[in-house]
Structure 1
Amino acid sequence: MTLVVKPVMMFAHKAITKTRLALLASFLFIGALLAACDTGTVERDHLKLTGRTMGTSYHITLVSADKEPLEVDAEALQGDIDKALQLINQLMSTYIDDSELMRFNRAPVDEWVTLSAPLMEVLQISQRISVASDGAFDITVGPLVNLWGFGPEMRPERVPSEAELAEARDNTGFGHVQLNTTRARRTAPVQVDLSAVAKGYGVDWIADLLVERGFANFMVEIGGEVRAAGLSPRATPWRIAIEQPELIGGGVRFALELQDKAVATSGDYRNYYEMAGVRYSHTIDPVTAKPITHNLASVTVVADTAAHADAWATALNVLGPERGMALANAEQLAVYMIVKDGEGFRDLHSQAFAPFAP
């Protein structure tokens, strides 16, 4: 039986316009998801936890060392996990009016604001990937997303005019968010949305919590972003299956073995609309201010942290197969791409992805 981890929107809108193509879990992790109604289900040597956060669900599997019985207070551990995730939401959500991020978005332009260490870290990750991708990753792109009809507003009755695009671009630009150790400021009235990186950061936060509690074998998944450590209940690396990018009934393209790494997938074949015979993708290129037109169906990134995998998958999806793969090799990123080729698909992968390749 195959279970698809569905992409779910976690904040007010996808400011980086990213559909998380489903990461299909191995049958071991699938078992954890199917047992979701029994939160805190303890098998002899592993524990399965599930819950809700960031507008989506989380699933965690913990495995004991050396097949010894797992001794853990499941209720107390889950309570700590939920509190940690509530904190991340309170810091970074655009759904919560008094979140730290929303207070920053309301601060006067050019005013330096002292921010918490977690929020500063996410902004720093975002800024580094924005610079490295030459603006393909941009946490301020929300006005363009809305203008093209992929935000909370209704779909447009016509394609935006060049004048409308120019006006929206005036309210975007990652360069308008400046960072200084513990402080940040907006130099223009841009709005920051961390939808394309905060879920991954949440995965990392929980992974670090588990490591601090002494766990060495676990998998953490939030809305399709995954980080795995150690071994699965079968004493083998965790297996994540990459979805075949088909509109209906997509199956498994190949299974990825994951150990002490994180993975995220971004793609472009489910969320779009057509107008006057033209297909408009939900993925907006912040540089051109328009939907992408290349033939990249999905891109999967394996990284040390889920936050980096999450953000890089978005950036490379914007860039497309040629520019994206060139950047992946230059940055030594482990990247796997599925590219539309006529009626079918072909696979590409970066040099760093070779150890994971099918």
Structure 2
Amino acid sequence: MGTSYHITMVDIPRGADRAKLQALIDSELHQVNQVMSTYIDNSELMRFNRSPVGQAIPVSKPLADVVEMSLDIYRRSDGAFEVTVGPLVNLWGFGPQPEPEKIPSETDIARLQQIVGSDALKMTREPDTLTRERPVEIDLSAIAKGYGVDRIALLLEQRGIRNYLVEIGGELRTLGKNPKGRIWRIGIEAPDSIGQIVQQSIGVSGKGVATSGDYRNYYERGGVRYAHSIDPRTGRPLQHRLASVTVVADSCAEADGLATALNVLGVEAGMALAERENLAVFMLVKTDKGFEQRYSAAFAPYLEKSE
């Protein structure tokens, strides 16, 4: 996944072997990578991306589950969450390709927008199959880390561990109490290039937490700032005041995907979706004086627990 992970466990059951547990965790993460990585050429996802257009391809339950959730968030966000946006990300220099010397032309953007789109993906369950109706390619980087967190959390619970924090690349899930016997306290980072400055702490147990923002990965051309988050509906980098969005949800995968979708939607449309669907959402919005906090009604209890 191109990042690190961190796990804290409290009150581990007697007889648990640390080395065996470590091996199980590493094996679980390896399995997720083998299914969903775009860095591994023979991963299940990459093999699907090379499959014939129009042919229903049998896929594993993990891949089907994550694609199904991705398509659900795509529909709920009116296309703001888009797992086939990769070609546009690459065009703007935020993928494997280097930063472009010139800003992409309207012609190049329009050409790729004709291909990109989750409407080209059709899936069935039981049996689990996936079909590309256009030559789109899926990239699950905006949701797979969260899914990996959920897999590790489930593994720990199956072994009787009831107090934990699992974090992969900033996306996390908690259960029970921290080492001090209190609810887990999570820090939401300030959108600062230096990082590691907590803007707001929240109390969370039994939920997944994910944050999406554009304040670290960007470049400038002609005095204009181009952030790595691409709006699939316009084919261009985001140009709004939302610096970061944090979501608390039942699963880390859903929190991960929703954070990306809300980041693309922006402040007004994103918060409207949050209130409409009773989502727990916290936003940091750029202003002339710094950053302003906004949060949905469903997020308020997490602020209260942090006191």
Task: Give TM-score, length-normalised by structure 1.
Answer: 0.82
Give, in whole Å, the separation in 2 of the partners of 1:295 and 1:318: 11
Give the deviation of 1:244 after TM superposition: 1.1
- In the other structure, the counterpart of 2:33 is 89
User: Residues 38-90 of structure 1: CA distance to partner in whole angstroms, max 9, x if unpaired?
Assistant: xxxxxxxxxxxxxxxx221111111117xxx8541000111111111111111
Q: Secondary structure at the match of 1:172?
A: coil
- In the other structure, the counterpart of 2:116 is 172
Query: What is the Cα-based RMSD across aligned positions, in Å?
Result: 1.2
Q: Secondary structure at the match of 1:107?
A: coil
- In the other structure, the counterpart of 1:75 is 19
Give the deviation of 1:250 after TM superposition: 5.5
Give, in whole Å, the separation in 1 of the partners of 2:195 and 2:16: 39
- In the other structure, the counterpart of 1:113 is 57
- The change in CA–CA distance for 1:113 and 1:76 in structure 2 (over 3 A counts) is same
Equivalenced residue count is 302
- In the other structure, the counterpart of 1:17 is none
Give the deviation of 1:277 after TM superposition: 1.6
The answer as to 2:96 corresponding to 1:149 is no
Give the deviation of 1:170 after TM superposition: 2.1
User: Residues 276-315 of structure 1: CA distance to partner in whole angstroms, max 9, x if unpaired?
Assistant: 1211111110001111111001000001110000000000
The answer as to 2:64 corresponding to 1:64 is no
- In the other structure, the counterpart of 1:218 is 164
Could you tell me which of 217, 224, 227 is aligned with 1:278? 224
- In the other structure, the counterpart of 1:39 is none
Give, in whole Å, the separation in 2 of the partners of 1:129 and 1:158: 33
Kept after mapping to 1: 8 A contact 2:73/2:257: yes
Which sections of structure 1, spanning at least 5 residues, go unmatched? 1-53
The structure 1 segments of at least 4 consecutive aligned residues displaced by more than 3 Å after TM superposition are none
Once the two structures are aligned, what percentage of the paired residues are identical?
56
Task: Give TM-score, length-normalised by structure 2.
Answer: 0.96
Match runs of 1:105-254 below 5 Å: 105-181=49-125, 182-248=128-194, 251-254=197-200
Match runs of 1:35-50 below 5 Å: none
- The change in CA–CA distance for 1:237 and 1:71 in structure 2 (over 3 A counts) is farther
User: Residues 81-123 of structure 1: CA distance to partner in whole angstroms, max 9, x if unpaired?
Assistant: 1111111111111111111111111110010011111100000
Give, in whole Å, the separation in 2 of the partners of 1:239 and 1:118: 30
Kept after mapping to 2: 8 A contact 1:171/1:189: yes
Q: Secondary structure at the match of 2:260?
A: helix
Kept after mapping to 2: 8 A contact 1:63/1:70: no
Give the deviation of 1:247 after TM superposition: 2.4
- In the other structure, the counterpart of 1:353 is 299
Give, in whole Å, the separation in 1 of the partners of 2:214 and 2:21: 37
Kept after mapping to 1: 8 A contact 2:279/2:296: yes
Give, in whole Å, the separation in 1 of the partners of 2:14 and 2:172: 22
- In the other structure, the counterpart of 1:317 is 263
Quick one: which amino acid aligns to residue 335 of structure 1? Answer: V
The answer as to 2:47 corresponding to 1:98 is no
Kept after mapping to 2: 8 A contact 1:349/1:357: no
User: Residues 332-354 of structure 1: CA distance to partner in whole angstroms, max 9, x if unpaired?
Assistant: 11000000011311100011101
